[in-house]
Amino acid sequence: MSSSSSPPTTNTPPSPAGRARLQADGALALMSAFWGTTFLVVKGALGDGDPYSFVALRFCLGALALTAVARRQMLVPHTLRRGLVLGVFLFLGFVLQTVGLVSTTPSRSAFITGLYVVFVPVLGLALFRRVPRVSSWVGVVLAAVGLRYLTGAELGVGGLSSGDWLTLGCAVAYAVHILLTERYAPKTGVVALVAVQLWVVAVLSALCLPFTQVRVEWTPAFLGAVLYCGLLASAMGICVQTWAQARTTAVRVALICSTEPVFTGVFSVALGYEKLGVREWVGGGLIVLGVLVAELGGHLFERLRAGRSAMPDSVG
């Protein structure tokens, strides 16, 4: 004679950790869509000013805004230490990409920068022994291939230039920043940690000004870009990213943020700046598919594992 309990229901609500992870992923997706608009804004601003002046002004404004909110929380020793480390890698990402653009093409720069989506799981495994799920690896590969098609980069032509190598360093810096943010991101005190980072980027950018040709025209477009990128893209955006990384994984962050160039392309087409061909749409679709595979594949794995653990044992 065998007895068994009633079969487990499959529509179980997600756990609190699962809900927090979904909220974090949703916030990152919205922020990536917003960051997708900044490329068009920055492109216009750089017609009226040099990159280092723009970055210094942008991050200084964001730092001032967050300092007004965080105040004394910024002086906590561990917040200062962590913010300093994160700020250095954030600055390296910006400066290596900017300098690299001097001797590489925008499409190659966009593709190589986007390779942080590959470096995050690889460095996470090498440095912190974090093993991503199979669905995450599949998503990373799809996103990397999608970036190649979206940007149209031809890396095999003539090998890697000095600008390509600098941009590769940028991708590594962004990957390390994402990984360290996952480890450092607090449940509270996010504003203070981000404020320290923004001050580091602003100061280091200002220190670079004597070594470059400073050019700033205080046009309404330039000032608007500084306000838009400083307050929203930098201050608010990095706060959202840091808040989310206390609730989700670095690989998921890298995958979701890899959709930023997709949103840039959509906004660019909508505003009439360019037209995307089949190759670009295929690339964008592969990036989105990579995110979906990593996201839904992880949930499917969790449900299968939960279903197996809930299966009743038969009694003979």
Cβ contacts of 63 within 8 Å, gap of 6 or more: 195, 198, 199, 202, 235
Alpha-carbon span 61 to 94, nearest angstrom: 17
Q: For 144-173, how does the pLDDT look when each residue is reduced to its tens digit (9 = 90+)?
A: 888 887 777 666 656 677 888 998 999 999
CB 285 within 8 A of CB 142: no
- Output the pLDDT for position 189: 85
Q: For 86-139, how does the pLDDT look when each residue is reduced to its tens digit (9 = 90+)?
A: 999 999 998 898 888 777 777 677 788 888 888 999 999 888 888 878 878 888
Alpha-carbon span 34 to 232, nearest angstrom: 9
Helix/strand/coil (H, E, C) string of 144-180?
HHHHHHHHCCCCCCCCCCHHHHHHHHHHHHHHHHHHH
Tell whether the model's pLDDT for residue 13 goes beyond 70. Answer: no
Which amino acid appears at position 135 of this protein?
S
Q: Could you give the percent of the chain with pLDDT greater than 90?
A: 34
Q: Phi/psi at 153 (nearest 5 deg)? A: -70, 140
Tell whether the model's pLDDT for residue 50 goes beyond 80. Answer: yes
Q: For 181-231, how does the pLDDT look when each residue is reduced to its tens digit (9 = 90+)?
A: 988 987 678 999 999 999 999 999 999 999 888 999 999 999 999 999 999
Q: What is the largest CA-CA distance in the chain?
A: 87
Q: Residue 62 — very low, low, confident or very high, per pLDDT cuts 50/70/90? A: very high
pTM of the entire predicted model:
0.81
